[in-house]
Chains A and B, each alone.
Chain A
Amino acid sequence: MAKYISTTLTITSNAYDATTNPGPTTSPLAISVTDLLDVTEVSSKIIDVTTTHTLLWDASDYFTTNADTGIDGAYVYFKNLLAENTTADLLHDLVIHNTDATALAVDHAPRMFTLQPGEWAWMPWDLTQDLYCDAAETNAGALETILFVRTTTV
């Protein structure tokens, strides 16, 4: 029996001349998308981070044959749970990357993205590489991540 999750993303901004939280364009933005996704399994964890990169999700835990495009995969949610000290303080930033190595260097290509405190991401994941988290200091309860396995994954 199919099992579903419903996802909705909205991105809004005020017009550029708004007095509160002015947006980046002269017209307000309002993007809204939704989807119903068929999934078979859910895994969730909140991890502590250190200056040694942490394996978040091991692709080999979720398939045994190969990573067929459009068939095998999952959907991943990440959120940086840390509080921001100051805007200039990068110690609470969390780096998501796809190689078993430190990923904080400038222009480090395997670094997928950096989540500043409070930031989050939602994306599919094709299980063709492992996902890691790297940080500039040790912090407990720093990153929440939830994984939903795509139903056709074998």
Chain B
Amino acid sequence: MGVIKPTLTLTANASSATTDAGPLSIALSLSATDSLAVTAVRSKILDVYGAHGSGDDGGILWDASDFTASGEAGVDGAFVYIKNVTAADSGRNIMIGAATLENLSSNGEADRLFTLLPQEFAFFPWDCTVDLNFDANGDTTNALETWVFVRTGTA
């Protein structure tokens, strides 16, 4: 067992600021941190493809069955970090979905959890009750970095 310490800092200037004006009349400053007990770490950087299913692992980002057989709320799971590492001007959007392996780029696609624009990132727990899948709006090598930290207690 090991411990990781994630910290999220979210700030914004007031809307009156002359540089990087924020969305509110007041400045925002939010910081959240935690110490998480984990048992295993996995990391990879994936190529992405516009033609869904032709990428590494056929578009599966993380396969739930690789981590647990049960998926019990509050017990089994992991913490996932995902970043679109393509250049800011690449125009390469990467879609993350759950449930079935499919084209995630259609407008209104209900199985699409979110889209990462270039340089955007996410960090969230994952209960290993569904696979996490990825899709993209074109081909780019070394486009998607992801880490999984397995929650201690996962069976």
Cβ-defined contact, A5 with B3, below 8 A = no
Contact B23 A40 (CB under 8 A): yes
Whether B108 pairs with A128 at a CB distance below 8 angstroms is: yes
Asked if B38 lies at the interface with its beta carbon under 8 angstroms from chain A, I say yes
Contacts A29-B4, A39-B23, A112-B127 aside, 16 further interface pairs with beta carbons under 8 A come to A6-B9, A7-B10, A8-B8, A9-B9, A12-B7, A24-B1, A24-B4, A33-B83, A69-B109, A106-B72, A119-B125, A122-B123, A123-B113, A124-B120, A126-B95, A126-B115
Q: Mark B75-116, 1 if CB is under 8 A from A, else 0.
A: 101000101000000000101001100001111111111111
Can you sample 29 A-B contacts with CB below 8 Å?
A: A3-B21, A3-B23, A4-B20, A6-B9, A7-B8, A9-B9, A9-B121, A10-B6, A11-B81, A12-B7, A13-B4, A21-B5, A22-B2, A23-B4, A24-B2, A24-B3, A40-B23, A66-B108, A67-B107, A68-B107, A69-B115, A73-B115, A93-B74, A121-B125, A124-B116, A126-B95, A126-B112, A126-B113, A128-B109
The interface residues of chain A lying within 8 Å CB-to-CB of B116 are 124
Given A13-B4, A68-B107, verify A90-B73 contact (CB < 8 Å): yes
- The 4 A-B residue pairs with the shortest CB-CB distance, nearest first, are A24-B2, A121-B124, A124-B114, A113-B125
Residues A13 and B2 in contact, CB atoms below 8 Å apart: yes
How many residue pairs bridge A and B at CB < 8 Å? 209
Closest chain B residue, CB of each to CB of A41: B23
- Give CA–CA (A112, B99) in the complex, Å: 10
Decide if A120 is an interface residue (CB 8 Å cutoff): yes
Residue A115 at the B interface, CB < 8 A? yes
Q: Does A79 contact B (CB under 8 A)?
A: yes
Instruction: Kindly state whether residue B41 has any CB partner on chain A within 8 Å.
Output: yes
Which residue of A has the minimal Cβ distance to B82? A123
By a CB distance below 8 angstroms, the chain B residues around A111 are 71, 73, 127, 129
Cα distance A67–B6 in the bound complex, in angstroms:
31
Rounded to whole Å, the gap between the CB of A138 and the closest CB of chain B is 17
Complex partner residue of B8 from A12, A77, A104, CB under 8 angstroms: A77
